[in-house]
Chain A
């Protein structure tokens, strides 16, 4: 696919997050300044408790920073209301979770279709896009199954299809291979690399998995809530 001109999709400005669950404040993020441009395939790594998932949650608007500002596709998401954020996430961000997090009562096809339904995409277009996406992730023939009738790898493929089907600006993947065996993990990683090349979508992973780190083109290491290293391969 012809690469379009690179532009900034995520800019974080001194993002700080303090959790205070039992009255003892814990600094999960300490003034992170980062810029991520379109089409990146970036892995955020670091030991447990370094703030990877918190960072992902904050740049996707699932959580709000205690201090600092997050700009996503030119919009400051830390200032949006609940409804605005819902719409913004639906249209701009695709999520892939470690535990797949599919909607248990919906079939594979319905899970992938769900976000487009929320966005008001027409039935014909929805069906075309779901079909194309399920082909892309190699899930033809299981459209009518429920998530519980699929293997872990298949469920994660559905999650990838769901994340990508509405063609968001960014795909955020939180430990996407953690629950998978290495072969399945590797296959999915190859697939995401291919989709990244083909569509130019931005992929950001939080991971411990050396396989993901190897595949990433940019590796950001967090330590104690701060950027420790930031390498581009």
Chain B
């Protein structure tokens, strides 16, 4: 009967119900779009960041990530690679070798970061070939070719066809020194890297630094980003080598991840503010409703309704409105997020985040954008209805029935 009275009261006070529901619907939808938008933006960033550069998981020799060293290498690349490949969720893996040196083209010289890559694997893992903006990618076999970053090309005034001399120190202490033909210029999206990057075929790089069969990093990409944690654990278990360290992208790109998390916390504050405004609106309408119906609650109490039942009546009315509002808000939220996930919003000015440029931002339709607003709307509705409900439950019947 309490449920029946609650339902009928909702339809009886149509204007108040609509006002309360509107506050909840607007709050839900805003919150949902906020989350969908934020998640979409971050998914976009993460996928660009991981897909283009660091992969989803990386394997290093223990200690390399904290203190990179030419000598701290993964020695059994073939075995490690085979083990990684045996995991069904792994999409691709690519070995990398890193070293620093001096690069010279004609009279110009500058510091360079030599990155030895297996071009076939790198293309599969991070779409290396798509980043080449001039010339071609590296040949599949070692053939004395180099692809250099756009910024580096500018510093060295190098073009496709130029010859670059790389000068460094090899792992055995000897002087590493060789000449490579620039076959392509690359724009990775990370301007800082592009100012120093000199990509060589991994075998050329291994030969230059006397690191035959050894690499510094293995990049892994997985079929779905939400599988990263499981695959990281799986790789670590299967490798079963205490000298190897398997790290997810969140560890590899610690500062990027921290900045992203801090941004998300900022979003949470935004959501709290939205819900606070909603809660105040709901509290106002529910309080007014209780005030208007003081006499009615007095009568209900007079004829034997317990204070607890009056309390439940007020809370139930709010819960019913909240459920309906959540359903409507969910439809609106999905619709808006879907539209934004297809069309996105073109930013008036591109921005750089984590070294990557972003011009159009896309939203995402996901469960988080429905569950979090649903819980928030429901909780805030219940919390704000507690005070009016207690007030209604405590009404003194004799006094209440004197009101008009």
Interface residue B129 (Cβ < 8 Å from any Cβ of A) = no
Chain B's interface: helix, strand, loop or mixed, by majority? helix
Q: Is the CB of B398 within 8 A of A105?
A: no
With contacts A57-B398, A62-B397, A106-B8 known, is A118 near B304, CB below 8 A? yes
Contact present for B300 and A104 (CB under 8 Å): no
- Whether a CB of chain A sits under 8 angstroms from the CB of B133 is no
Contacts of A57 in B (CB 8 A): 397-398
Q: Contact at B299–A86, with CB atoms within 8 Å?
A: no
| CB contact under 8 A between A162 and B303, given known A63-B398, A103-B296, A105-B5 | yes
Residue from B296, B304, B399 in contact with A90 in the complex, judged by beta carbons closer than 8 Å: B304
* A97 and B401 within 8 A (CB): yes
Is the beta-carbon distance between B302 and A62 smaller than 8 angstroms? yes
Instruction: Indicate whether B12 reaches chain A with its CB closer than 8 angstroms.
Output: yes
- Residues from chain B with a CB closer than 8 A to the CB of A110 are 1, 4
Q: How many residues of B contact A (CB 8 A)?
A: 24
Is B261 part of the contact surface with A, judged by Cβ < 8 Å? no
B307 contacts A by Cβ under 8 Å:
yes
Hey, which chain B residues are within 8 Å of A105, CB to CB? 5, 8-9, 12
In angstroms, Cα B300 to Cα A62, docked, is: 12
Q: Is A33 an interface residue (CB 8 A)?
A: no
Cβ contact of A89, chosen from B5, B303, B307, cutoff 8 A: B303
**Provided the pairs A82-B307, A83-B308 are in contact, do residues A103 and B302 lie with their beta carbons within 8 angstroms?**
no
Q: Chain A CB within 10 Å — which of B299, B304, B308 has the most?
A: B304
Are B303 and A114 within 8 A (Cβ)?
A: yes
Compute how far the CA of A104 lies from the CA of B1 in the bound complex, rounded to whole angstroms. 14
User: Smallest Cβ distance from A75 to chain B, in angstroms?
Assistant: 15
Q: A60 CA to B302 CA in the complex, in Å?
A: 9
Instruction: Give Cα distance in the complex from A104 to B299, angstroms.
Output: 11
Interface residues of B in 281-301 (CB under 8 A from A): 295-296, 299-301
Given the complex, which residues of B lie within 8 Å of A89, measured CB to CB? 302-304
Give the chain B neighbours of A95 by CB distance below 8 A: 302-303
CB neighbours (8 Å) of B301 from chain A are 86
Report how far A97 CA is from B299 CA in the complex, Å: 10
A117 CA / B397 CA spacing, docked (Å):
20
A53 to chain B, nearest CB (A): 8
Chain A: residues with Cβ within 8 Å of the partner, total of 25
- State whether A86 touches B12 (Cβ < 8 A): no
Asked if B302 contacts A104 (CB within 8 A), the reply is no
Cross-chain contact A118 with B305 (CB below 8 angstroms): yes
- B8 touching A86 by the CB < 8 A rule? no
A142 in the interface, Cβ–Cβ < 8 Å?
no
Cα A185 to Cα B309 in complex, Å, equals 34
| A103 proximity list for chain B (CB < 8 A) | 5, 296, 299-300
**Partner of B296 from A63, A104, A114, A162 at Cβ < 8 Å:** A104
The docked-state distance in angstroms from the alpha carbon of A118 to that of B313 is: 14
- The A-B contact count (CB < 8 A) is 66
Which positions 43-87 of chain A face chain B at CB distance < 8 Å?
Answer: 57, 60, 62-63, 82-83, 86-87
- Per-position binary interface string of chain A over residues 95-112, scored 1 when its CB falls under 8 Å from any chain B CB and 0 otherwise: 101000101111000100
Residues of B within 8 A of A97 (CB): 299, 401
Q: Which residues of A contact B306 (CB under 8 A)?
A: 82-83, 86-87, 118
Chain B residue with Cβ nearest A54:
B398
> Is A101 touching B397 in the complex (CB atoms < 8 A)?
no
Structural contact, B303 and A90, CB atoms closer than 8 A: yes
Q: Nearest CB to that of A174 among chain B residues?
A: B401
Q: Is A121 an interface residue (CB 8 A)?
A: no
Q: In whole angstroms, what is the CA distance A62 to B401 when docked?
A: 10
Report chain A residues within 8 Å CB of B397.
57, 62-63
Contact with A along B360-404 (1 / 0, CB 8 A): 000000000000000000000000000000000000111101000
- The answer to whether B9 touches A114 (Cβ under 8 A) is no
Answer yes or no: A91 CB below 8 A from chain B CBs: yes
Are the CB atoms of B401 and A101 closer together than 8 Å?
yes
Instruction: Say whether, besides A101-B295, A103-B299, A114-B1, A86 and B305 are in contact (CB < 8 Å).
Output: yes
Tell me the smallest distance from the CB of A29 to a CB of chain B, in Å: 13
Q: Considering the chains assembled together, what is the distance between the CA atoms of A24 and B398 in angstroms? A: 20
Contact B396 A106, beta carbon cutoff 8 Å? no
Tell me the smallest distance from the CB of A71 to a CB of chain B, in Å. 19
Most A CB contacts (10 A, CB to CB) among B12, B299, B301, B308 go to B299
For residue A34, CB closer than 8 A to chain B, the reply is no
Q: Whole-angstrom distance between the alpha carbons of A110 and B1 in the complex?
A: 9
A136 at the interface (CB under 8 A from B): no
What separation, in Å, do the CA atoms of A80 and B99 have in the docked complex? 86
Q: Taking A89-B303, A91-B304, A105-B5 as contacts, is the C-beta distance between A62 and B398 under 8 angstroms?
A: yes
In the complex, chain A residues whose CB is within 8 Å of the CB of B8:
105-106
CA distance A110 to B301 in the complex (A): 16
Q: Complex formed: what's the CA distance from A129 to B301 in Å?
A: 22
What is the CA–CA distance of A57 and B396 in the complex, to the nearest angstrom? 11
Instruction: Scan residues 123-158 of chain A and give those whose CB is less than 8 A from a CB of chain B.
Output: none
Residue of A nearest to B300 (CB): A103
- Please give the distance in Å from B161's CB to the nearest CB on chain A: 86
The answer, yes or no, to whether A115 is at the interface (CB within 8 Å) is yes
Q: How far is the CB of B105 from chain A (nearest CB, A)?
A: 86
Tell me which residues across on chain A come within 8 A of B12, comparing CB atoms: 104-105
29 sampled A-B residue pairs with Cβ under 8 A: A62-B302, A62-B397, A62-B401, A63-B396, A63-B398, A82-B306, A82-B307, A83-B306, A83-B307, A86-B306, A86-B307, A87-B304, A87-B306, A89-B304, A90-B304, A91-B304, A95-B302, A101-B401, A103-B296, A103-B299, A104-B12, A105-B8, A105-B9, A106-B8, A110-B1, A110-B4, A115-B303, A118-B303, A118-B305
The 4 closest A-B pairs by CB, nearest first: A90-B304, A105-B8, A63-B398, A57-B398
